[in-house]
Amino acid sequence: MGLFGGSKKPKDDWSTMSTVVKAEAKLQALGEITPSRRAGVIYRNDDQNAFQSDLKNELNSVLYVGDGATKTAFDIQDDDRGMRWVVLEDGNFGDLVSSVYTVGNAIGMNDGADNLLAAVFELYFTGTVEDNTYRSGLRTYWIYRYDRKAFYPFVPTGDSEGDRDRPTEARLGQDLRKHGLTIEKSLTEWMGLWGIPF
Amino acid sequence: MTSTTTRKFHKDRGLVSRMYLTMVMLGVLYAVFALFLLAAGMQMIFIGGIVGVMVLVQYFMSDKLILMSTGAKAVTAEQQPELHKMVKLLADRYDMPMPKVAVIDTPIPNAFATGRNPKNALVAVTSGIQQRLNERELQAVIGHELAHVANRDMRVLALANFLVTVTSFLMTMLFWNMLFGGMGGRRNNNGGGIMMVYLVTMIVYFIGQLLVLALTRYREYGADHTGAEISGDPGALADALEKISGTVAGIPDKDLRKLQTANAFLIIPAALKGEGSMNLFSTHPPLQERVKRLRELEQRMRYGLK
């Protein structure tokens, strides 16, 4: 409840986030992508926020109660950089995306829109990248930044800052854009998240 | 090819005058800041001494520091005959001795040169840039790097960086001094005075940083220009830059979580982070601008404006 917070209207992220389902299906059909079962939402926890301090119960009712409930399994974890993660697991990619959206939306609707950093999907990539080297089943993350309302790929090669596989990211970025995903246009905004807890 | 003796480069006058103006402004900033510190009763010799040693080490050992800090490995003519041949050809055109040649094994395309003068120069390329560029483009990139050596840019920037290093060092010291109140002792008990010095130091640091960045950009355009004159093919570097940047150069090292915690105090002075080389991309002018200038130069050279 700071001097400048609290009154912002929650944004509609669904129109952008839902495109990830189609893009994933197309790339999977081409043999380039295999989804994992995992995704996550990262946000800066605010102890003063009632919803966030009772997140586990709140998410239980959001994800498990009602007819259309996805019943996606989730776990709450803190990383070593002071951020909190909701890690979600679901074998149905469509349900996984919808649950990720629901979690972010629930946090946002309850005075937490400014705390949301990103939604992160884990997928495996197979293919040749620009420098003519081959990647087979490489773990990649597709990051959706709430402040930019856009996706970009992130392929860490280690846990320290800056360790990332840029050629694969570049290739994946082009392919995802080609298949209808809203990709962050400014490369300098493709910031990494090292040490993702899933 | 054209003659291998020293060529007279035709200079970009606007660029040269902007560059000198920046250097003069830096000099004035230096002097004013030194006077201010003296008036505030700081021990100039102490600070100057420490930073001086730091800068000297960086200046005289830059090639070794770079080899150590980037994982670049010196390669012999037997290991990389084509790369050596290319560097030799270009060094001859610049009329400089053969520099050390090194390769960094990473897919990230980049190249840099370092060394305080042509006799102590080192040029390094990544295996990524070797794979991605064709011969003409790679030659243009190495030509650009050797232009930095020929123009003695490392020396100019070491000098220019001196002030920025002093101020960042001072800021760190003053910050800890204010936190723990040590060092100054009985002589200087008024916190307001220290606060004042801290603020001025901060302002000088930021202005100095801006001037150094401007100077770096001018040297960068200068190296693009010199490299193009040497090769006679400005388009080659433009092609290389476009090819590389279109994909990966812009992807940052930064962690997204830093967006929320940025702008903390500066603890590690930039000079300690092993800078002091001319890297193909960092602190460079916007790529589109460089490419545009190179394309213009290409037109001028093609239609015989000498």
Residue B70: give the domain boundaries.
Answer: 28-247+265-302
**Side-chain-facing half-sphere of B7: CA atoms under 13 Å:** 22
Average pLDDT rounded to a whole number, residues B221-236: 88
CB B132 within 8 A of CB B243: yes
Q: What is the 3-state secondary structure (H, E, C) of chain A?
A: CCCCCCCCCCCCCHHHHCHHHHHHHHHHHCCCEEEEEEEEEEECCCCCCHHHHCHHHHHHHHHHCCCCCCCCEEEEEECCCCCEEEEEECCCHHHHHHHHHHHHHHHHHHHHHHHEEEEEEEEEEEEECCCCCEEEEEEEEEEEECCCCEEEEECECCCCCCCECHHHHHHHHHHHHHCCCCECCCHHHCCECCCCCC
Q: Is residue B257 part of a domain?
A: no
Residue type, B67: L
Q: Which residue of the set B82, B135, B137, B145 is catalytic?
A: B145
Is B145 considered catalytic here?
yes
Q: Which residue do the tokens 């390769």 mark?
A: B103
Average pLDDT rounded to a whole number, residues B121-150: 90
Residue B204: what pLDDT? 84
Residues of A in contact with B248 (CB under 8 A): 166-167, 169-170
Q: What is the pLDDT of residues B71-122, one digit of tens each?
A: 788 999 999 999 999 999 999 999 999 999 999 887 677 888 887 788 888 8
Distances from the Cα of B11 to the Cα of B14, B15, B16, B140, B229, angstroms: 9, 8, 7, 19, 10
Listed ranges A93-107, A125-139, B61-75; the one with the highest mean pLDDT: A93-107
* A:60-99 residues touching chain B, CB 8 A cutoff: 81-83
Q: Taking the complete model, does pTM exceed 0.90, yes or no?
A: no
Confidence of residue B193 (pLDDT cuts 50, 70, 90): confident
Average pLDDT rounded to a whole number, residues B244-264: 65
Residues of A in contact with B283 (CB under 8 A): none
Residue A25: what pLDDT? 93
**Measured between alpha carbons, how far is B245 from B130 in angstroms, rounded to an integer?**
15
Share of chain A above pLDDT 70, in %: 93
Q: Is residue B128 part of a domain?
A: yes
Confidence of residue B248 (pLDDT cuts 50, 70, 90): low
Residues of A in contact with B257 (CB under 8 A): 42, 81-83, 117, 193
Report CB contact under 8 Å: B107, A82: no
Residue B207: what pLDDT? 84
pLDDT of B208 over the 70 cut: yes
Residue of B nearest to A166 (CA): B248
pLDDT of B148 over the 80 cut: yes
Q: What is the pLDDT of residues B44-60, one digit of tens each?
A: 677 677 777 766 776 67
pLDDT of B165 over the 50 cut: yes
Q: Is residue B276 part of a domain?
A: yes
Q: Is residue B254 part of a domain?
A: no
Share of chain B above pLDDT 90, in %: 15
The domain total for chain B is: 1
A193 close to B (CB below 8 A): yes
* Domain residue extents for chain A: 14-189
Confidence of residue B201 (pLDDT cuts 50, 70, 90): confident
Residue A107: what pLDDT? 95
Residue B64: what pLDDT? 72
- B122 DSSP 8-state letter: E
* Secondary structure element (H or E) that encloses residue B38, with its range: helix B13-40
Q: What is the pLDDT of residues A27-52, one digit of tens each?
A: 999 999 999 999 999 999 998 999 99
Higher-pLDDT residue of B6, A125? A125
